[in-house]
Structure 1
């Protein structure tokens, strides 16, 4: 008999009733150190007082009016994003998947409005852009994502990771855009080298194709800059944002230059809930905190501390771990065992982690996590690795 909750997840036998900072608690009172942060969502941890206050204050005034009307909270957050980024304009969504759908539409509408038949969008192996039909069509080589859901939408070319010759050959006068994550998340915490992001920008400038960055997982301070592409000193034409921007409240956005967004006129896109007063009130507080240079300096300091600890962990368990990779507090442990085994062993140590492709264990803690909690997390990973070694 099918469960009342559609069984599309292999859920862990854990349920939490309370969270504070980097910790979660079950109804039985067991406390777990959370190094997943809801898959990079809880940027400021669980029940962050500043976000609770922002949400509660707004909830007592107004929840929803729809985008048929002006929404002051939405305007304030859009203004903050425009001020802090490359963008000239912002559309708010409820999720990263919705942001992906708009980014795809926006790129194609840009060319259509210019009277040009350029619909092809180039993506890369290992990418993850969401689970809608449009988003899975962008990664047609991923059997896990696309099997049984055909026919897929046409107009996508997925290329091998880091094959520069294939990329240059694939970009033609029919190419509408190149879509890439500056740091792949689901694909195994794979950062795109700065010189490659610069090369993509140059290639798009040369050919006219739009450059789309998917910063749903790697954005909003996760890598130690407000957005990951800033490390390379380049800017996209369109960017997808979600996860951390809401600090746990469902919120996403598409940011764009005026030129890239020029085809999106009244009636070309919409969202009933996107940019509602509740989400934008929380998002504005997240932006206020995370965009502070002092906060980002702290993220980088914590990241350096964590990286050092993880390198020592890898050296101590050569039969379990191969290497550390990632950027900022978006880190991955390349494993010699199945990541699911390490996730399960970590549960025994009351530690929460997230598996990824390419045999990688993801570590995505709250950005304001303390050094003490990071050290405790590595200690528990050490115990989990020892447990696996003894059971081998």
Structure 2
């Protein structure tokens, strides 16, 4: 009998090893991974350079508290900021990064209302859960934190009605991941940012899933031509090592003075060493261009093979973040089961979407082979 809380719905398989873009279970079966550990393993498994960096840092020192200087934090903060005027706060997860963003927005503006979007997902801690626009995530935890308002995604009407003098921030994902792989419309984003600027409202972009190269640019916000006030990161930043970060414009530094926020383990030296190497490897123009190219090819292959299939409602995505919306929710579970039998693992998003998040290192041959199996399984389900 398990001694674990049953808060996860676990599949009856345990992965005990990984190599590049493949996972190996306890029976020795090999699987092509189209999940990246839910968008985490952007550089695949058992990466020699990441292993080396972690081993070297582990042999020196694992942890010092944030009472002392940390040059690894300084280095990574500069890497993440690039040529933009951001300061960094380091933590351990995406939910923690979003909690920090909510606190920074409220403290720096002196306002309390935060607008987020229906179908959004920002985490499961109380602040991040309150920011999440999904009733199923809230169930059993009421009352939530006050003054979070949810409006329709890719629409301006209700946003305009809710945006007022007490609005500290608008918080959003540029591609809603858990909500069903729903990309934001670029014109809508441009108008949203302009509205926020004219209202003195901060824009928080949750890049926990879309950041670190996933969509073909280092940050998804780059492709939308915006520079958010606050960006949150995690998942791919540590390639499996728990690391999160919040980036905020330097003009907000006064809101986070000593004692305002913190984390015992946030920015620990192991995490900083790994995240620094991850950032160095991914934030290269050729690597990102190749990711975008592979994503476009994958999307094209899926559309060519599945667009006429009656059970397929839509195929959408950007970079290597792709969703296949099916006509019935039970078809998603059936497809996941059949693909697992055939040595490919994929994810669910929303109620009826197959979510594909392969490692960014997956080559074109592996991508094509995996997509062929996905198409075959969906064609079989359509014939049932």
Same fold (TM > 0.5): yes
Shift in Å at residue 389 of structure 1? 3.3
Q: Distance in 1 between matches of 2:271 and 2:26?
A: 28
2:359: which partner in 1?
366
1:126: which partner in 2?
119
Correspondence 1:121-270 to 2 at 5 A:
121-139=114-132, 142-270=134-262
- Secondary structure of 1:361's match? strand
1:285 equivalenced with 2:283 (yes/no): no
Q: Distance in 2 between matches of 1:5 and 1:254?
A: 31
Inter-CA distance 377–387: structure 2 relative to 1 (3 Å threshold): same
1:341 equivalenced with 2:334 (yes/no): yes
2:155 touches 2:188 (CA, 8 Å); kept in 1?
no
Could you report, residue by residue, the CA deviation over 1:276-323 in whole angstroms, capped at 9, with x for unpaired residues?
01001000001101110011111011112211211123136x133222
Q: Distance in 2 between matches of 1:384 and 1:248?
A: 29
Shift in Å at residue 335 of structure 1? 1.1
Q: How many residues align?
A: 382
Aligned match for 1:105, one of 88, 103, 112: 103
2:123 touches 2:129 (CA, 8 Å); kept in 1?
yes
1:96 touches 1:243 (CA, 8 Å); kept in 2?
yes
Gapped regions of structure 2 (runs ≥ 5): none
Q: Distance in 2 between matches of 1:193 and 1:386?
A: 30
1:313 touches 1:378 (CA, 8 Å); kept in 2?
no
Shift in Å at residue 192 of structure 1? 0.6
1:39 equivalenced with 2:38 (yes/no): yes
1:95 equivalenced with 2:93 (yes/no): yes
1:191 touches 1:326 (CA, 8 Å); kept in 2?
yes
CA RMSD of aligned residues (A): 1.3
1:301: which partner in 2?
293
Shift in Å at residue 166 of structure 1? 0.8
TM-score under structure 1 normalisation? Answer: 0.95
- Secondary structure of 1:260's match? helix
- Secondary structure of 2:242's match? coil
Q: Distance in 2 between matches of 1:279 and 1:314?
A: 41
Could you report, residue by residue, the CA deviation over 1:312-351 in whole angstroms, capped at 9, with x for unpaired residues?
23136x1332221011101111112322221112112111
- Secondary structure of 1:366's match? coil
Q: Distance in 2 between matches of 1:343 and 1:150?
A: 33
Q: Distance in 1 between matches of 2:380 and 2:253?
A: 53
Shift in Å at residue 87 of structure 1? 4.0
Q: Distance in 1 between matches of 2:96 and 2:218?
A: 21
Shift in Å at residue 162 of structure 1? 2.5
Aligned match for 2:317, one of 307, 317, 326: 326
- Secondary structure of 1:152's match? coil
Shift in Å at residue 122 of structure 1? 0.2
2:302 touches 2:375 (CA, 8 Å); kept in 1?
no
1:349 touches 1:383 (CA, 8 Å); kept in 2?
no
Shift in Å at residue 147 of structure 1? 1.0
Q: Distance in 2 between matches of 1:88 and 1:77?
A: 12
Q: Distance in 2 between matches of 1:95 and 1:82?
A: 19
Gapped regions of structure 1 (runs ≥ 5): 113-117
- Secondary structure of 1:144's match? helix
Shift in Å at residue 262 of structure 1? 2.7
1:345 touches 1:385 (CA, 8 Å); kept in 2?
no
1:225 touches 1:296 (CA, 8 Å); kept in 2?
yes
2:238 touches 2:274 (CA, 8 Å); kept in 1?
yes
Q: Distance in 2 between matches of 1:239 and 1:262?
A: 18
- Secondary structure of 1:262's match? helix
Please list every run of at least 4 consecutive aligned residues from structure 1 whose deviation after the TM superposition is greater than 3 angstroms: none
Q: Distance in 2 between matches of 1:224 and 1:10?
A: 31
Could you report, residue by residue, the CA deviation over 1:16-68 in whole angstroms, capped at 9, with x for unpaired residues?
11101110001221001100000110010011111111111111111011111
